[in-house]
Amino acid sequence: MFVKVCGVRTEGDVATAVDAGADAIGFVLTDSVRRVEPGEARLLAAAVPPEVLTVGVVSGIPAAEAARLALAAGVAALQLHGDYPRSAFEELAGLPFRLIRATTLGADTDVRVGAYGEELLLLDSPVAGSGERWDLSLLGAARPQGRWLLAGGLRPDNVAEAVTAARPWGVDVSSGVESTRGVKDHGLIRLFVATARSAAEQ
Ligand SMILES: O=C(O)c1ccccc1NCC(=O)[C@H](O)[C@H](O)COP(=O)(O)O
């Protein structure tokens, strides 16, 4: 079970997520209460060991601007939320970061991992970082195969049930490990990572 902790903003958040065993740490680089400047993200990412994936998260900005932010932050992966067409992923292919396509399940969602050239697919609620859940029963036969992450309103007290229902390759959390909006709770980060891991072993 791959676990990503998103919306990390401080050295303490990073140290806790790494120590808790997170596989990936996300820095929001565009408009959000969780936004960090690319230079701050670069400093925070420098404290992350190489086996943990650093991810720059963007929403609704041109692909070229997303690339500029990811390069300035020095992250290993770029997570794109919004209506990015396949051509945007083609434009970004070959740059020195991996690509994560974040989308919501809908009638026209292509849920094949890699359909746009991405390495990881993230299925999220309609409003990214809102802490809102979505109806996992919608997955049905559309459940992706391979490297996909489930996101959207996950918390320590619901992640086990969500993992059992959706059987994702990994999970992603932000709001569910916060004490107040935008402020990570280190105890919740530890609890979330441990709970997600043990749920996957059941
Ligand atoms: O966190 C934000 O504010 C944000 C803003 C713009 C694009 C993405 C953003 N967050 C992405 C995430 O935190 C997660 O990948 C995902 O949406 C899960 O969030 P949550 O439901 O809060 O756990």
CATH of the domain at 45: 3.20.20.70
Task: Specify the residue with its C-alpha closest to ligand 1, atom 16.
Answer: 129
Q: How far is the CA of 201 from the centre of ligand 1 (A)?
A: 26
Residue to mutate, 174, 180, 193, ligand 1, most ligand atoms under 8 Å from C-beta: 174
Query: CA-to-CA distance for 170 and 3, rounded, in angstroms?
Result: 6
Take atom 2 of ligand 1 and give the residue whose Cα is closest. 129
The residues with which 178 forms a beta bridge, in sequence order, are 184
ipTM of the complex: 0.97
Q: What is the pTM of this model?
A: 0.96
Using CB atoms within 10 A of its CB, is residue 123 exposed (0-12), middle (13-18) or buried (19+)?
Answer: buried
Residue spans of the chain under pLDDT 50: none
For 148-163, the pLDDT digits (tens) are: 999 999 999 999 999 9
Residue 11 has a pLDDT of: 98
Mutate to test the pocket of ligand 1, among 124, 184, 188, 192 (most ligand atoms within 8 A of CB): 124
Give me the pLDDT at residue 200, please. Answer: 79
**137 C-alpha to ligand 1 centroid (Å):** 21
For residue 130, the CA-to-ligand 1 centroid distance in Å is 6
Q: Which pLDDT tens digit goes with each residue over 173-196?
A: 999 999 999 999 999 999 999 999
Query: What's the structural domain count of the chain?
Result: 1
C-alpha pair distances (Å), 46 with each of 43, 75, 94, 112, 180: 5, 9, 22, 32, 26
Structural domain of 57: 2-201
Angle at 147 between CA 146 and CA 152, to 5 degrees: 120
